[in-house]
Amino acid sequence: MQSNSRRSFLTGRRAAQGPWKAFCQRMRNAIEGSFHEFNGNDDTGSARLVPKKAADVHKARTLCVEYGVLLALDGVQHAARLDEQSVLWVDPGRDMSACQRLEPDSTRWFVQPGCLLGELAEAGLSQFSELPCHITVAAWLADRVLCDWDTGSTGASGLVHASVLLADGTVASLGPFGAQNKKPLEGARLQKLVASLFQLSAGAESRACGAERRWPARYRLDALFPANGQTVNLAHLLLGHGGDLGWVEWLVFDERLIQPQLELPYSERFAARRAHDVGLTVQADELDMQVKHLFDEGGGYPHPGQNL
């Protein structure tokens, strides 16, 4: 009978699987959607997930945390910068592209992240007809240029509710917030997050940024101090979030509230230089750093690039 040591000598020991290859193998075993590895060695690499259902992204997030892999939204501008560590690009795909009225006569629409802006326009939300028809709702929501409403005017987006998967696995349901909203915040994580965000919004940095007609920071903390006649809505924190704060699972829009943005010259659209141009680089950077930390302390989602 041949011994194990003799067999190992003849056939060679099987090399231990590196972390990236192990991650890929477990992803293939765990999800129902499609998974494609672009490139990589045993230790690092990149791949794309097109989820079949929301549970695929939840499983992917768990594995990304375990193996130190960034979970990044596909189709947004940070793509070329994420080359220093392993990345899983998530494309919401066609299996998560629903677009339907909540009720037959309702003005509110339930929309999944893979829905295309052209499909929103075809469904009757004509306010989206002037926007790029081929991009997903997820990419639109993440785009700081396309979601560049005046300070305090985020209500013009028409967004009323959003469900977002945070990096620690918490699913946060965000929507109207205030005396007229009777639904309590669910869970200690969300309660602490919202309390900290309101505290941040009352600080000197936020007040300085809020005095500008065009919001100069990356993350829309002005959603917490809207213009007169508008109400606080926590979902607006995700407008132009860059894919940095979480994975958006679904949205609800009210077609009565959507107001197209005025056409602006490209030079006036959002860019990181906006804060510099008004002398608020330090204040805007401080706000962005703290908002990012509150949503994603562990860095499971990408950090914004310098010019995004």
Q: How many domains does the structure of the chain reveal?
A: 2
Please give the pLDDT value at position 10. Answer: 53
Judge if 210 and 235 occupy the same domain. yes
- Residue 303 located in a structural domain: no
Contact criterion met (CB below 8 Å) for 298 and 167: yes
Q: How far apart are CA 219 and CA 6, in angstroms?
A: 62
CATH number, domain of 164, equals: 3.30.465.10
Name the average pLDDT for the chain. 89
Strand pairing class (70-73; 171-174)? unpaired
Burial per residue of 209-237, b for 16 or more beta-carbon CB atoms within 10 angstroms, e otherwise:
bbebebbbbbbbbbbbbbeeebebbbbbb
Judge if 172 and 286 occupy the same domain. yes
Judge if 209 and 234 occupy the same domain. yes
E strands within the chain?
Answer: 34-40, 45-50, 70-73, 87-90, 99-101, 108-111, 159-165, 171-174, 247-254
Helix, strand and coil in the chain, % to nearest 5: 35, 15, 45
Task: Name beta bridge partners: 233.
Answer: 176
Q: Point out the domain boundary residue: 73, 90, 107.
A: 90
Share of the chain above pLDDT 90, in %: 72
- Residue 300 located in a structural domain: no
Tokens of 53: 């259902």
Q: How far apart are CA 160 and CA 308, in angstroms?
A: 25
The DSSP secondary-structure symbol of 112 reads -
Where is pLDDT greater, at 264 or 253?
253
- Return the amino acid letter for 37: E
Q: Point out the domain boundary residue: 90, 117, 146.
A: 90
pLDDT tens digits, 28-75: 999 999 999 998 787 899 999 999 999 999 999 999 999 999 999 998
- Residue 304 located in a structural domain: no
Q: What is the pTM of this model?
A: 0.90
The per-residue DSSP string of 57-95 comes to HHHHHHHHHHHT-EEEETTSGGGGG--SS-EEEE---GG
Judge if 104 and 215 occupy the same domain. yes
Judge if 281 and 185 occupy the same domain. yes
Q: Point out the domain boundary residue: 90, 106, 121.
A: 90
Judge if 78 and 147 occupy the same domain. no
- Residue 306 located in a structural domain: no
Contact criterion met (CB below 8 Å) for 303 and 243: no
Distance from the first to the final alpha carbon of the chain: 65
Query: 52: domain range?
Result: 4-90
Burial class (CB in 10 A: 0-12, 13-18, 19+), 180: exposed
Burial class (CB in 10 A: 0-12, 13-18, 19+), 175: middle
- Residue 308 located in a structural domain: no
Please give the pLDDT value at position 305. Answer: 60
Judge if 172 and 37 occupy the same domain. no
pLDDT tens digits, 141-177: 999 999 999 999 999 999 999 999 999 999 999 999 9
Please give the pLDDT value at position 259. Answer: 83
CATH number, domain of 85, equals: 3.30.43
pLDDT tens digits, 228-263: 888 999 999 999 999 999 999 999 999 999 887 666
- Residue 242 located in a structural domain: yes
- Residue 305 located in a structural domain: no
pLDDT tens digits, 288-299: 999 999 999 999
Q: With the C-alpha atoms ordered 162, 217, 143, 297, is the resulting torsion angle positive or negative?
A: negative
Judge if 47 and 157 occupy the same domain. no
Judge if 43 and 137 occupy the same domain. no
Judge if 154 and 282 occupy the same domain. yes
Please give the pLDDT value at position 306. Answer: 47
126-130, 153-157, 197-201: segment of lowest average pLDDT? 126-130
